[in-house]
Amino acid sequence: MSIQSHSGSNRIAGVGRLVPAKTVRFTFDGQSLTGLEGDTLASALLANGIHLVGRSFKYHRPRGILSAGSEEPNALVDVERDKSRKQPNVRATVQEIYDGLQVKSQNRWPSLTFDIGAINDVFSPMLPAGFYYKTFMWPKFAWKTIYEPKIRAAAGLGVVPGEADTDRYSNRFAHCDVLVVGGGAAGLAAALSAAQTGAKVIICDEQAEAGGALRYETDVTIDGKPGYDWATETLASLRALENVTVLTRTTAFGYYAQNFVGLVERISDHLSNPGSDMPRERLWQVRARKVILATGAIERHMVFANNDRPGILLASAARAYLNQYGVAVGRKVGVYTANDSAYAAAIDLKRAGVDVPVIVDTRDNPSSPVIEEARSLGIDVVTGHAVFSAGGKRRVSSISIRPNKGGNERKVVVDALIMSAGWTPSVHLFSQSRGKVAWDAANERFLPGTYAQDCVSVGACNGSDGLQQALDEAVAAGGKLAGETGFKGKTAALKATGGTDWVLGMIGSAPGAGADTTVKAFVDFQNDVTAKDVRLAVREGMHSIEHVKRFTTNGMATDQGKTSNLHGLAIAAEALNRPIPAVGLTTFRAPFTPVTFGAIVNHARHDLFDPTRRTPMHAWHAAQGAAFEDVGQWKRAWYYPQAGEDMHAAVNRECVAVRNQAGIFDASTLGKIEVVGPDAAKFLELLYTNPWEKLGVGRLRYGIMLREDGFIYDDGVVGRLAEDRFHVTTTTGGAPRVMNHMEDYLQTEFPHLNVWLTSTTEQWAVIAVQGPKAREIIAPLVEGIDLSNEAMPHMSVREGRICGVPTRLFRMSFTGEAGYEINVPADYGRAVWEAVYERGKPLGLTPYGTEAMHVLRAEKGYIIVGQDTDGTVTPQDAGLTWAIGKNKTDYVGIRGLLRRDLVADGRKQLVGLKTKDAHVVLEEGAQIVANPNQPVPMTMIGHVTSSYWSQNCGRSIAMALVIDGTKRLGETLYVPMPDGVIEVEVTGTVFFDKKGERLNG
């Protein structure tokens, strides 16, 4: 055996497909190592003779590399590009190496070779499956404070990165006629056949290259070419086709309803210097008319004592490391198998010059050409025997062999052991699609049974074990499914030779790890579950596989039990003495392999996390130094602090200015709906409690909208622009739901009405100018509208021009002052705002924000839906009985309002509260009681809904919902707070200008 030392001492010259000259430098736990371009981290470590790569989850046992694929349970490492780009629990078998790759092992302290946590392995008899359910019961408080944190710290694998991820992630929606999952022989054949018809095909494979098992099956030809060459050429020809999208390094992780399949494409994880525009991963959300699953099969390990020692690998993995990467997994490699396929690996290793001292086969009298071939190569094939135990700690050093039925033991020195218990068809995605698996008793495996979606399985995942059989099935499926989507065409058959049938083997514990033993024979490596743990679960009364799984955590790690499920099931079934199908198989759920949050979130980060809505005047507010508050997705100017002002001072100044001179306020976020049609008034009659038919053109009315149950849903001012055209306003937060509510009733309850609804929220910028000088300020800017009190009284609307642009000018008020709301087409908002401000500034016009608006309206007792109401408040409760049309016979909520509980005494009603000490401002949400001396828990009779300091009133003001509140006017009630009880007097809700005279000023 000729050794090539540049890229690892176990690299064999002339073997594998990597180019020896293309070396790549990387580090593992700080140790500088060299691999070859195309290596996975696993192949590069093995080439350097490193098997020990991590410590196990619970017992901190030394662990190595088991597989060469995504099913890897053991070799989980931490990959770090920099502080913010750090990924724990990366499978070394999936991560490709690049120059500068930095890798650390996990779950060890102080080092990988000496790990203090390994003491858990010594105490393992005290830590059986489910130990935490019973061992740490007393004292009760200690579970949360001591036991759970300690257990959690000791268990576990990688560490979550501490900084925000600076990588980019992206998303793509795609549609295709045929989606092929898997780029092995069957997947390539199916894709080729479907593509030949002209159908739109997407094929994905989780590996860097396609080929699947063809990467290591050396004795195979397809179409007269070596299997791997055929795969490479086929992939290239698929890539060249217009109608085919080839996605490598792409895992189909989730199969959802109606052939919606989630794929993650790893774009830059294998690159040394990915460009800054390059996303790390791209999520593909594919809607496929047909899906072909060609997901292959996963080799199972043998379950025997200490089968988790580093250096013990799956046979197919050893073959892949050899034939693809040119790496021998050891110099003296033992083989332990229960089927034929491990022989192929042994033969390849032997031919490459590796010493293969023994093949231990549990079968009594197996016969097959590969067995003969192995023997002819001089390998000692021992049948009817089992490996009872593996020696060595941080690397396997020997195996103990005994006849199955007991007898003399012999020890064979090895530095690696490869094993195969057989192949488990990969039915994960099929199961995710809600397909029902069927038990194939002859071959002891689950296969796709009843399909729930429009898909087919081909090849090894469908139990088609021979290569020719798999290809025939795949070619037929590709043509048939494409045909069903309307693409008919000739598909070419493929002729294959060679290949090992992936059939038979064993499931459950091997001889020597049976029910009468206490050895640590691992079933689930990642969650440290042994065969005896599964048996313990059964003894503890877990009879369903769902219970066994949860008690032992078998199959619940990030690998989802790809190698362990069937073994666990077989051991449980044996312990229960029931057939396997009767014990059941757990359902597979997405994701097939772990998916990063980044890929799921993709574009929705930073500014794109959620839309930020800004008004046309936003930049002006910002330039004035306004503080903003979030109202739904909107940014609203909250208050405009001047130099030296805090929020309190700014709001006081703004409130006083509005009452004494005038204020200017951005009300653009108010929802607006244009209701048009001859039945518009009739429709509004049905949607609001108020009457509308008689509202004159050019007049406004405050309307209340109820839900069917009689509770207030929204409110707003509605203007009649024409007989058949209304301009409806809603609350800022209520805009979308009010539109939906109206549209819902229009389409379902009142479809006979000739009326249409159009959202105009964003068509109009709204500039509120409020205060005694409002008219004086806007008058010179307005054209074509008579602003006199007589011509345009409070609650009217006129159309005309302002600053030369069209306006709908509303005379209305949410402050109690005379005022206007100037609606202009949104793009003019900023210019008109500035013109109004420049004109008004010398007259004392002051910009005010939402906080001052809240205070001003509270001074007048105007409610805010959602603050003073909470979905359980009727118009009567809110003191708005006047807004209900007395003569109306129908509107949404009219019957709800008649409910006995809504008209009975004892309703919470909206009242004002004045604190006895005028300087005390109540807390919104504070509870109200009648007697503060009653024992706790006190009887609460209400709560504060709005509370502010009112500079205009020179005192605090508040509104509250209080049981029978309107009967309590003048009563003293109490608000108990942590630092004392606050006395309050119940008052009316209007605190300022009780007669409302200022509105008409």
- Closest Cα partner for 192 from 604, 475, 454? 475
Place of tokens 């120059």: 99
Looking only at residues 833 through 852 of this chain, which bind other proteins when binding is defined by CB under 8 A?
A: 834-835, 839
Other CB atoms within a 10 A radius of the CB of residue 595 amount to 18
Residue 772 in contact with residue 818, Cβ under 8 Å?
yes
Range in contact with other proteins (rule: CB under 8 A) among 72-80, 312-320, 607-615, 696-704: 607-615
Looking only at residues 9 through 38 of this chain, which bind other proteins when binding is defined by CB under 8 A?
A: none
- Closest Cα partner for 74 from 526, 416, 520, 595? 526
Q: How many residues bind other proteins (CB under 8 A)?
A: 63
Binding of residue 175 to other proteins (CB under 8 A):
yes
Beta-sheet strands, E only, within 688-724: 700-706, 712-722
Other CB atoms within a 10 A radius of the CB of residue 873 amount to 22
Cα(888)–Cα(880) distance, integer angstroms? 16
Binding of residue 798 to other proteins (CB under 8 A):
no
| Shortest Å, Cβ 803 to other proteins | 4
Among 372, 827, 923, 997, binds other proteins (CB under 8 A): 827
Cα(666)–Cα(563) distance, integer angstroms? 63
Give the three-class secondary structure for 714.
Answer: strand
Binding of residue 754 to other proteins (CB under 8 A):
yes
Residue 939 phi, psi dihedral angles, 5° rounding: -80, 115
Residue 55 in contact with residue 112, Cβ under 8 Å?
yes
Backbone dihedral region for residue 795 (phi beyond 0: left; psi -120 to 50: alpha; all else: beta): left
Among 132, 256, 439, 756, binds other proteins (CB under 8 A): 756
Binding of residue 335 to other proteins (CB under 8 A):
no
Instruction: Indicate the residue among 633 and 881 with the shorter CB distance to other proteins.
Output: 633
String of DSSP letters for 381-411 = EEESEEEEEEE-SSS--EEEEEETT----EE
Residue 542 in contact with residue 503, Cβ under 8 Å?
no
The rounded Cα 269 to chain-centroid distance in angstroms is 21
Among 83, 172, 411, 578, binds other proteins (CB under 8 A): 172
Among 293, 684, 781, 897, binds other proteins (CB under 8 A): 781
Cβ-in-10-Å burial (0-12, 13-18, 19+) of 956 comes to buried
Cα(266)–Cα(282) distance, integer angstroms? 7
Residue 149 phi, psi dihedral angles, 5° rounding: -60, -40
Range in contact with other proteins (rule: CB under 8 A) among 293-301, 611-619, 651-659, 881-889: 611-619
Instruction: Indicate the residue among 172 and 410 with the shorter CB distance to other proteins.
Output: 172
Among 165, 373, 645, 674, binds other proteins (CB under 8 A): 674
Cα(954)–Cα(207) distance, integer angstroms? 74
Binding of residue 263 to other proteins (CB under 8 A):
no
- Token pair, residue 154, equals 């000791």
Among 25, 614, 648, 955, binds other proteins (CB under 8 A): 614
Binding of residue 677 to other proteins (CB under 8 A):
yes
Among 112, 803, 812, 856, binds other proteins (CB under 8 A): 803
Place of tokens 């980044």: 598
| Shortest Å, Cβ 177 to other proteins | 10
Instruction: Indicate the residue among 216 and 837 with the shorter CB distance to other proteins.
Output: 837
| Shortest Å, Cβ 734 to other proteins | 16
Binding of residue 201 to other proteins (CB under 8 A):
no
Beta-sheet strands, E only, within 267-325: 281-293, 297-300, 312-314
- Token pair, residue 281, equals 């991963």
Among 186, 188, 267, 427, binds other proteins (CB under 8 A): 267
Range in contact with other proteins (rule: CB under 8 A) among 494-502, 506-514, 587-595, 674-682: 674-682
| Shortest Å, Cβ 839 to other proteins | 7
| Shortest Å, Cβ 163 to other proteins | 21
Range in contact with other proteins (rule: CB under 8 A) among 474-482, 491-499, 795-803, 921-929: 795-803
Give the three-class secondary structure for 261.
Answer: strand
Among 832, 911, 962, 986, binds other proteins (CB under 8 A): 832
Range in contact with other proteins (rule: CB under 8 A) among 220-228, 561-569, 803-811, 925-933: 803-811
| Shortest Å, Cβ 360 to other proteins | 50
Cα(80)–Cα(600) distance, integer angstroms? 21
Range in contact with other proteins (rule: CB under 8 A) among 417-425, 688-696, 776-784, 843-851: 776-784
Looking only at residues 629 through 648 of this chain, which bind other proteins when binding is defined by CB under 8 A?
A: 633-634
Among 104, 653, 830, 968, binds other proteins (CB under 8 A): 830
- Closest Cα partner for 621 from 644, 589, 654? 654
- Token pair, residue 801, equals 């021009």
Binding of residue 828 to other proteins (CB under 8 A):
yes
Residues of this chain that bind other proteins (CB under 8 A): 168, 170-175, 200, 267, 275, 277-279, 282, 285, 287, 603-604, 607-608, 610-616, 633-634, 674, 676-678, 754-756, 758-764, 780-781, 783, 801-805, 824-832, 834-835, 839
